[in-house]
């Protein structure tokens, strides 16, 4: 069941120590941050299950909303899921602290923002350990308010003939972290927002797991 609670520092440290002690150093423990349907989360769940994302486990799912399909997906997969809502922590510092505390509890190695719609202040220890997938070729169509179909609408309005997806490191500016990898696709003359979104999402489903694999294999340093 999804939870929304605070824990003591003692509990956090004890659980983190226990988790670290029970895992191989080559095994990557990821946190997946979601705010909506969790389709990207489901892709990672499926790839871990069928072996396409080896030596990787989802240690915790963090959702900024309790009433979304992504939470149900996590629960069906029997994954720990914590609800951390902005309205419960209206000060950005408090909101960010709660996220960082939860990451510590579950001994996370890498944070994956997957349809995460909330701003949080990353402390230094999570810089270069947090990645995001974005549905455009950054730096085009990035920044505050640029997400989902808004991006595809902007691509079509601009008459671009190429778009794609980007996986980048997260810093404390919207979509401004260093680009890790990008993959492109054609924008067709008869594309609608929906058809373009489907093509970009297909790229994201391949690109994000590939980057995670490379990070785990130390082909990408973090």
Q: Which residues are catalytic?
A: 134
Max distance between CA atoms of the chain, in angstroms, equals 58
Locate all alpha helices (DSSP H) within the chain, ordered by sequence. Answer: 9-21, 39-49, 69-76, 92-105, 148-158, 193-216
Q: Give φ, ψ of 83 to 5 degrees.
A: -100, 120
Whose CA is closest to 117, among 139, 84, 165, 94?
84
Tokens of 73: 């997906």
Q: Before 139, cis peptide (omega within 30)?
A: yes
Q: How many residues does the chain have?
A: 222
């Amino acid at each position: 069941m999804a939870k929304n609670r605070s824990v003591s520092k003692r509990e956090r440290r004890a659980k983190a120590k226990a988790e670290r002690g029970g895992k191989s150093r080559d095994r990557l423990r990821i946190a997946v941050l979601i705010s909506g349907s969790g389709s990207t989360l489901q892709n990672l769940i499926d790839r871990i299950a069928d072996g396409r994302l080896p030596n990787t486990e989802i240690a915790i799912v963090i959702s900024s909303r309790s009433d979304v399909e992504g939470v149900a997906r996590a629960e069906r997969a029997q994954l720990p899921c914590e609800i951390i809502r902005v309205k419960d922590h209206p000060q950005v510092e408090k909101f960010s602290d709660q996220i960082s505390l939860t990451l510590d509890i579950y001994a996370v190695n890498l944070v994956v923002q997957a349809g995460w719609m909330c701003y949080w202040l990353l402390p230094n220890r999570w810089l270069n350990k947090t990645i995001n997938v974005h549905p455009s070729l950054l730096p085009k169509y990035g920044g505050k308010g640029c997400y989902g179909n808004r991006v595809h609408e902007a691509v079509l309005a601009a008459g671009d003939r190429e778009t794609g997806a980007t996986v980048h490191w997260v810093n404390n500016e919207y979509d401004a972290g260093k680009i890790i990898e990008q993959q492109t696709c054609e924008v067709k003359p008869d594309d609608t927002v929906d058809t373009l979104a489907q093509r970009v999402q297909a790229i994201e489903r391949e690109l994000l797991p590939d980057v995670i694999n490379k990070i785990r294999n130390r082909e990408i340093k973090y």
